[in-house]
Amino acid sequence: MAIRLTDVANEAGVSLATASRVLNGSARKPAAEISDKVRAAAEKLGYFPNAQAQALARATTKLVGLVVRDIADPYFSTIARGVQRGLGDSGTQLLLASTDSEPEREIEAVRAFMSQRTDAIILSGSRGESEDDGLLKLIENYQDNGGQVVVIGQPLASTGGIQVDNRTTSEHLAGELIRAGHRKFVILAGDENLLTSRHRAQGFLAKLKRTGLSAVDVIHGAFSREGAYMAMSDYLGDRKPGVSGQICVFCVSDVMALGAMRAIRERGLQVPEDIAVAGFDDIPTLEDVTPTVSTARLPLEEIGRWAGEMVLSHGEARKMVVTGTPILRESSELRSAKG
């Protein structure tokens, strides 16, 4: 009876993927003691690696998969452009999948990229508080077979990538708005189940508290332009007469800020004369909007480029943390005459 690779894996007490990486020449190598166990098991059983399997294990497809939440969102399209820059003239082609914020579609996208034997998968987008076991198992299997995974946003176990320090960046933005003279804040906090929106709101509130201030209101809703439009419309419709003077609305993303500004205009109010607005991310279109929008600037295209370069490095997964910079523009100008 022919000895199979499965027999070697069982004899060595390792997974089939690990045995394949040792004996078929994968670029991703297990620890030395594990490799020694696998080779000893192969020698004991008289197993000889298949030449075709070895060639397949060493092959690269020159394909990288990028999974984003919403390709229509300038945040993600800018990151995608940066990834393409990072891949440069390596001959690697970028494949794109958009999940529309549905976790099951993220798993479907990862499976699809695995079936296409991509050399790497880049995951970009906010996550919930608990990690999806199904996604983690898929990633582990993909890595065991030599694939690379880079995450942009909140880190996942066993992966490298770029993490955004949303809390600290929000604190810095709140500090700049306070220094500019603002004292009354409403926070459009997005979906509290998403770590990105939660951390941005928490950082802003923490800075207010340390300064002796508190938010007039914290409003949750969809982490989207339409979600912010609806939240702002409801707030303006229910606004208490006792809340007077110029309010500054902090939106936990720029697209939310644009939705809030639309709602403000539809009520016959002006930005910033009646209500000041600030966002987060610094998507490329902000300076083209009237008034120009205050925000916390993240180097979105550079973040994408770094992710692409990590893929090409073929080394152990690296991790880096990025903190944004407050940028005050016309939308948050203080009008002292308004109180």
The residue-averaged pLDDT of 299-313 equals 93
pLDDT score for 89: 87
Task: Give percent above pLDDT 90 in the chain.
Answer: 58
Q: For 137-161, write each residue's pLDDT tens digit.
A: 888 888 877 888 999 988 787 788 9
Q: How far is CA 142 from CA 46, 116, 136, 146, 244, in A?
A: 28, 12, 10, 7, 56
> Residue 338's pLDDT is what?
41
Please tell me the predicted confidence (pLDDT) of residue 333: 96
pTM for the full model? 0.80
Q: How far apart are CA 47 and CA 226, in angstroms?
A: 61
Q: What is the per-residue pLDDT for 292?
A: 95
**Strand, coil or helix: what is 239?**
coil
Is the pLDDT at 114 greater than 50, yes or no? yes
Instruction: Give the pair of three-digit tokens for residue 319.
Output: 């991790």
pLDDT surpasses 60 at 86: yes
Residue 270 has a pLDDT of 95
- Percentage, residues of the chain above pLDDT 70: 89
Taking the CA of residue 105 as centre, how many other CA atoms within 13 Å lie in the half-sphere pointing to its CB? 12
Spatial separation of the C-alpha atoms in residues 133 and 50, rounded to whole Å: 33
Taking the CA atoms of residue 167, residue 169, residue 174 and residue 179 in that order, the dihedral angle to the nearest 10 degrees is 140
Q: What does the pLDDT read at residue 337?
A: 40
3-class state of residue 220 by DSSP: strand
Burial of 182 (0-12, 13-18, 19+ CB in 10 A): buried
**Lowest-confidence region among 49-53, 159-163, 286-290, 323-327:** 49-53
Q: For the residues 32-52, what does the mean pLDDT come to?
A: 82
CA distance 183 to 245: 10
pLDDT at 208: 98
pLDDT at 77: 94
Among 114-118, 221-225, 270-274, the minimum mean pLDDT is found in 114-118
In this prediction, residue 113 carries a pLDDT of 93
pLDDT at 243: 59
20-24, 168-172, 211-215, 321-325: segment of lowest average pLDDT: 20-24
Q: Can you tell me the mean pLDDT for 198-227?
A: 96
- Residue 2, pLDDT > 80, answer no
pLDDT at position 339 is 41
Rounded to whole angstroms, how far apart are CA atoms 163 and 155?
6
pLDDT for 160 equals 83
Q: What count of Cα atoms within 13 Å lies in the side-chain half-sphere of residue 176?
A: 20
State yes or no: pLDDT of 53 exceeds 70: no
